[in-house]
Structure 1
Amino acid sequence: MKTIKLIVVFCCCLASAHLFAQNSPQAIEGDLLRILKKVNYYGAHKKDWKAMDSLLKQNKIFAVKLKYYTSKYPETISLLFTSLVKERLVIATSADGIFRTYSWNTQLGDKGFDIYNVLQYKNAGQTVSLLKMDTIGKKGYVSLWYPKIYTFTTAGKIYYLATYNSVYSATKAGQGLKIFTIDKGKLISNPPLIKTPTGVYSQLHYDFDVSSIADWESYPAIYFDKATQTIHTPLVDYNHKMTRKLITYKFTGRFFEKVK
């Protein structure tokens, strides 16, 4: 019965989205803003079990509508969505305008952040959107959001280096970088470009103790330097304390490899 109700909700929200949008960027943003405000409202009152049910429902509606609009209307990949950003939707766009991520905190987590992501990219003049919410709560899943996308080209192929953040609790957080590329119209999230002593990977990740940066005015974050083709990550010591030192991975023609 719950499955049937959920399908009905999804179908209704898609139908309303189609009627409401009418190809208008303002209408699309207004519709999404209305739902995201509900997410944030119920998130602030989730100690009430009724609000928790509404929070779950509104997150699902927002996720489906965002995926629908970003798939149906190609122009959305370049819209600023200023009002949504003010409501804490995190948007990152590649320099070439081909790849974009949308991330928001569902506020469903007990301690850290539970993040849903919609990944959008262009293909043959159209846009494709992927909703990444199906692994929430699964063992080993890292809930993350993307604040920045770097563009890197080698051998005629474009790669997108997306930095991300995670918050597990008040004392533990993480950062990293994931590599994406588009191949034959499909978004590939695991191109092996980073070589370490233990293998070749498509991402870098590190966890750290939040208390180690508590009195810092600013702290280093992972970034890509296009001019030198290097990835820089903060060094975290064996006690999970972040240091001000950096680890550098330089592109050597085939892989990013650690500079000694």
Structure 2
Amino acid sequence: MKTIKLIVVFCCCLTSAHLFAQNSPQSIENDLLRILKKVNYYGAHKKEWKAIDSLRKQNKIFAFKLKYYTSKYPATINQSFISLIKERLVIATSADGLFRTYSWNTQLGNPGFDIYNVLQYKSNGQTASLLKMDTVGKKGNLSLWYSKIYTFTSNNKTYYLAPYNCIYSTAKAGQGLKIFTIDKGKLVGNPPLIKTPSGVYSQLHYDFDASSIADWKSYPTIYFDKSAQVIRTPLVDFNHKMTRKFITYKFTGRFFEKLKS
């Protein structure tokens, strides 16, 4: 009887060790990498017969697996995922480690980019994730990826200022900024913090002619100066040309308000 019990315990230990190994940080990354490589492979061959169907399938698999892992395993919010970044997954993480975005080009767009985003956040020691596929393929919706997350605290509440980029075609691009906060354990994506002469908003956005920056070594992007509590956005002129000037929004205690130039 004792021998049987020892065998049962030993088998249970082996099973637990196997399950742990399957869900270790490296195994999670390897699983995601395997699928993302397929996305990029079929994206490079999407003009071939049936490749577009495989591309759609692999994007869906990657999207739902990424959402699953980032929801179930809290440590993923701090995981570097270097191999995935090399495969063009764009990751942005807040300074406090409580909010992170994962963005990738599905390569289903024609001619612009179609982007899927997974938004991961942490509250009360638990992580959760949202899969944002609703930005793709619907008229009037932006297909965007997040490049950075700035952390801003006011009145004991933390806000995440997330600049993003869009590419519609070789001739047209866009940039903007969305604001998020975690409230009562939920990610809220529309706190109205930006005040302009036309109203109060939860985000900024502008489009520009991509040819206007074609010969620039680098070009301006949205920037948040934490010490000065200002948001600076590049000025786009009436001909949709990007300039090297900025529009400044200063936090006045309740809103970021546009300063007169």
TM-score (norm 2): 0.91
Which residue pairs with 1:229 in the alignment? 229
Q: Which residues of 2 match residues 33-48 of structure 1 at below 5 A?
A: 33-48=33-48
**Shift in Å, 1:19:** 6.3
Structure 2 residue runs without a partner (length 5+): 1-17
CA distance in 1, matches of 2:50, 2:20: 28
CA–CA distance in structure 2, aligned partners of residues 135 and 49 of structure 1? 27
Residue identity matched to 2:30:
G
Paired residues for 1:101-180 under 5 Å: 101-180=101-180
Please say which of residues 110-119 and 126-135 is displaced more in the overlay: 126-135
Residues 164, 152 of structure 1: alpha-carbon distance in 2 compared, 3 angstrom cutoff: same
Question: CA separation of 1:217/1:135 partners in 2, compared to 1, >3 Å: closer, same or farther?
Answer: closer
Coordinate RMSD, CA, aligned = 1.3
Shift of 1:219: 1.0
Partner of 2:50, secondary structure, is helix
Contact 1:102 1:117 (8 Å CA) reproduced: yes
| Residues 81 and 125 of structure 1, relative CA distance in 2, 3 Å threshold | same
CA distance in 1, matches of 2:67, 2:20: 15
- Whether the 8 Å contact between 2:231 and 2:249 is mirrored in structure 1 is yes
Return the offset for 1:217.
1.3
Equivalent-residue separation in structure 1 for 2:45 and 2:143 (angstroms): 22
Q: Is the 8 A contact 1:235 1:247 kept in 2?
A: yes
Contact 2:116-2:135 within 8 A present in 1 as well: no
Instruction: Answer yes or no: is the 8 Å Cα contact 2:135–2:142 preserved in 1.
Output: no
Q: Give the residue type in structure 1 aligned to 2:113.
A: F
- The answer for the alignment partner of 2:214 in structure 1 is 214
TM-score normalised by the chain length of structure 1: 0.91
Q: CA deviation at 1:124?
A: 1.4
How far the C-alpha of 1:135 sits from its partner, in A, is 4.1
How far has the Cα of 1:59 moved from its partner? Answer: 0.1
How far residue 23 of structure 1 moved from its aligned partner, in angstroms, is 2.9
Aligned-partner residue type, residue 191 of structure 1: P
How many residues are matched?
243
1:6 corresponds to which residue?
none
Once the two structures are superposed, what CA deviation does each residue of 1:14-61 show, in whole Å capped at 9, x if it has no partner? xxxx96963300000000000000000000000124000000000000
- Contact persistence 1:20–1:27 (CA under 8 A): no
**Higher Cα Rg, which structure:** 2
Q: CA deviation at 1:218?
A: 1.3
Contact residue 181 and residue 189 of structure 1 kept, 8 A: yes
For residues 236 and 83 of structure 2, the distance between their equivalents in structure 1, rounded to whole angstroms, comes to 36
Name structure 1 gaps, 5 residues minimum. Answer: 1-17
How far 1:231 moved relative to its partner? 0.2
What's 1:242 paired with? 242
Which range moved further: 187-196 or 19-28?
19-28
Distance across 1 between alignment mates of 2:125 and 2:183: 15
**1:186-212 superposed Cα distances (whole Å, 9 cap, x missing partner):** 100000000011110000011000110
> What corresponds to 1:10 in structure 2?
none
* Letter of the 1:44 counterpart: A
Query: What does the per-residue CA deviation read over 1:72-99, in whole Å, with 9 as the maximum and x for residues that have no partner?
Result: 1000000000000000000000000000
Equivalent residues in 2 for 1:85-100, closer than 5 Å: 85-100=85-100
Q: Is the 8 A contact 2:94 2:160 kept in 1?
A: yes
Q: CA contact under 8 A between 1:21 and 1:28: conserved in structure 2?
A: no
Does structure 2 conserve the Cα–Cα contact (< 8 Å) formed by 1:20 and 1:31?
no
1:23-42 to structure 2, matched below 5 A, reads 23-42=23-42
Match of 1:205 in 2: 205
Q: Deviations over 1:211-260 (max 9, x none)?
A: 10111111111110001000000000011000010000000000000111
For residue 121 of structure 2, what is the amino acid of its counterpart?
Y
